[in-house]
Amino acid sequence: MDKLTDLTLHEARRLLDAGEIRSVELTEAFLNRIRAVEPRLHAFLTPTPEMAMEQARAADEQLRKGPAENPMLGLPIALKDILSTEGTRTTCGSKFLENYIPPWDGTVVAKLRKGGAVFLGKTNTDEFAMGSSTENSAYGPTRNPWDLNRVPGGSSGGSAAAVAADECLAALGTDTGGSVRQPAAFCGVVGLKPTYGRVSRYGLVAFASSLDQIGPLSKDVRDAALFLEAIAGHDRNDSTTAPRPVPSYTAALHESRGVEGLRIGVPGEWFGGGVSPEVAEVVQAAIARLEGMGASIREIHLPVSEHAIPIYYLIAPAEASANLARYDGVRFGLRAGGADDIWELFARSREAGFGAEVKRRIMLGTYALSAGYQDAYYKKAQSARTLIKQSFDRAFEEVDLIVGPTTPSTAFRLGEHANDPLAMYLEDIYTIPVNLAGLPAISLPCGFAQGLPVGLQMIAPAWEEERLLGAAYRYEQATDWHTRAASAVPT
């Protein structure tokens, strides 16, 4: 057997159930790995080794009685530090919440805790998930395990780097405009954004409520299916979750028809001027591979998708400006001193607690919602959002799946976009349309450009996660990109 930290969720599951390894030794291996690589990567904001060992011992206790009833029992994972965890500080990458210790678990965290998962710690994120590089974290950036001078992507960059560097079996991230898929692409791992409403957002600290969705980052597609199965489902505490049964996504990997005979659409617009030639070449090769496996490939058009960035950067900041109004220095979080009245207290606390990108988006959203401008910006963007959704609906009348690049380029250098917010926003041009339409999508490794991983994005109609995962799994089985180890951390 390889090193314990090389295992996937499903391999570790099998070994734990067979009694060949114990959760305690698995957890210790990951805690050692975290200690070894964290000085270089900074994927974690708050490691939780004591809790992890306690949960591992409890899991071993249960496993002594027989194989696990819950698929996550005894499996060491990491959580993006924007998921509310009872008794463990939840900073959202913000100075505002530096000392905030939630008195409650969000629904997904509670499911995992109850199921006996082992929590290794909370991972780094752009402040309130606003960013594409983790450079907007108030606690310093995470570095890419393939090249320490490059970003891991964001906002779930800590989770993606932790999975890529074998610091955990898998991790949770959140995806509002690409924040699971883009870091997965940059770090050479699998990232899944479920259909909006598939996974409860209760306890996910809100950024843009109509777009946010929790999703897993993992070493392979089967792990993504297994993890999704553990977190999906209706929740009475989130009225936007659908009252639909959760199918067995792991069973669907084999039962779904896979790639054979699948009609795959490739948006012509996504191979225009925006994408780098190296990424285009690698993704075209992956599409040719899919064709070789029996898919029929056709070019499709998503004409409005080129407007997705301005639509998103009006809608998401508008929702953020409302959601972040709660940070006022009164009930929790940072409070600035020296205020004479409550208005000063609000304005000074928010000024002191938020970083530049969060302020920029609050300002943008406030403007887009303000009297006299709401129709021209916010309402216009909402109508344009309808057009995006309609263009996907039309495309899915002709094809079963849409495939293209996850990102226009491979991981960029730290600081490369520091003074140009718009350039940073353009990094999410292929992922944002999917959030606006609420669709499920996955990014999986499909090759390398100059030594850096490239992500292949697959998009399915709403609620077709089984088709999505089935096709992704067959592609993964036919290739070995997902097995490559990150090159800038010790093996």
Partner 1 sequence: MSLTLKQVEEIAELARLDLSRGEKERFRDQLSAILDYAERLQQLDTSDVPPTAQVTGLVGVMREDVITASFTQDEALANAPQDQDGFFVVPTVLEES
Stretch that binds partner 1, among 53-61, 173-181, 252-260, 355-363 (CB under 8 A): 355-363
Rounded to a whole number of angstroms, the minimum distance from the CB of residue 15 to partner 1 is 38
Give the pairing of strands 441-449 and 190-193. Answer: antiparallel
Which of 73, 75, 67 lies closest to 27 in space, CA to CA?
Answer: 75
Query: What residues does 444 pair with on adjacent strands?
Result: 456
Q: Which residues contact 238 (CB under 8 A, 6 or more apart)?
A: 107, 200, 201, 202
Interaction between residue 304 and partner 1 (CB under 8 A): yes
CB atoms within 10 A of CB 483: 11
- Letters for 17-56 (x = contact with partner 1 by CB under 8 A, - = none) are ----------------------------------------
Interaction between residue 114 and partner 1 (CB under 8 A): no
Distance of CA 237 to the CA centre of its chain: 22
Stretch that binds partner 1, among 124-132, 176-184, 345-353, 468-476 (CB under 8 A): 345-353
Among 93, 153, 157, 197, binds partner 1 (CB under 8 A): 197
Query: What residues does 118 pair with on adjacent strands?
Result: 76
CA distance 173 to 228: 12
Among 34, 232, 345, 489, binds partner 1 (CB under 8 A): 345
Interaction between residue 342 and partner 1 (CB under 8 A): yes
CA distance 12 to 254: 20
Q: Any catalytic annotation for residue 155? A: yes
Catalytic residue among 84, 179, 200, 391: 179
Interaction between residue 196 and partner 1 (CB under 8 A): yes
Among 40, 263, 389, 484, binds partner 1 (CB under 8 A): 389
Interaction between residue 438 and partner 1 (CB under 8 A): yes
Catalytic residue among 84, 132, 137, 155: 155
Interaction between residue 348 and partner 1 (CB under 8 A): yes
| Tokens representing residue 63 in the block | 């496993």
Interaction between residue 386 and partner 1 (CB under 8 A): yes
Among 307, 374, 408, 487, binds partner 1 (CB under 8 A): 307
Task: Answer whether 312's CB lies under 8 Å from 177's CB.
Answer: yes
Stretch that binds partner 1, among 55-63, 344-352, 407-415, 475-483 (CB under 8 A): 344-352
Q: Any catalytic annotation for residue 218? A: no
CA distance 206 to 128: 8
| Tokens representing residue 220 in the block | 């392979």
| Tokens representing residue 402 in the block | 């849409």
Amino acid at 302: L
Stretch that binds partner 1, among 28-36, 165-173, 283-291, 337-345 (CB under 8 A): 337-345
Which of 160, 136, 153, 146 lies closest to 412 in space, CA to CA?
Answer: 153
Interaction between residue 393 and partner 1 (CB under 8 A): no
Q: Any catalytic annotation for residue 3? A: no
- Nearest 5°: the CA angle 321, 327, 331 is 150
Which of 85, 164, 81 lies closest to 117 in space, CA to CA?
Answer: 85
E-state strands within 393-468: 401-405, 441-449, 452-459
Interaction between residue 343 and partner 1 (CB under 8 A): yes
Interaction between residue 477 and partner 1 (CB under 8 A): no
Rounded to a whole number of angstroms, the minimum distance from the CB of residue 345 to partner 1 is 6
Rounded to a whole number of angstroms, the minimum distance from the CB of residue 61 to partner 1 is 27
Among 40, 113, 379, 484, binds partner 1 (CB under 8 A): 379
Catalytic residue among 80, 95, 122, 193: 80
Which of 409, 483, 413 lies closest to 444 in space, CA to CA?
Answer: 483
Q: Rank residues 30 and 354 by Cβ distance to partner 1 and give the closer one.
A: 354
Which of 472, 352, 462, 346 lies closest to 403 in space, CA to CA?
Answer: 472
Helices (H), 354-431: 356-369, 380-398, 421-425
| Tokens representing residue 452 in the block | 């850096």
CB atoms within 10 A of CB 467: 20
| Tokens representing residue 242 in the block | 């659908």
| Tokens representing residue 286 in the block | 């992956």
Interaction between residue 374 and partner 1 (CB under 8 A): no
Stretch that binds partner 1, among 72-80, 98-106, 182-190, 472-480 (CB under 8 A): 98-106
Among 49, 274, 408, 421, binds partner 1 (CB under 8 A): 421
Stretch that binds partner 1, among 13-21, 257-265, 286-294, 366-374 (CB under 8 A): 366-374
Catalytic amino acids? Answer: 80, 155, 179
Positions in the binding site for partner 1 (CB under 8 A): 99-101, 103-104, 196-197, 210, 236, 239-240, 242, 304, 307, 309-311, 313-314, 321, 325, 328-335, 339-348, 350-351, 354, 356, 359-360, 362-364, 366-367, 370, 377, 379-387, 389, 421-422, 425, 437-438, 462
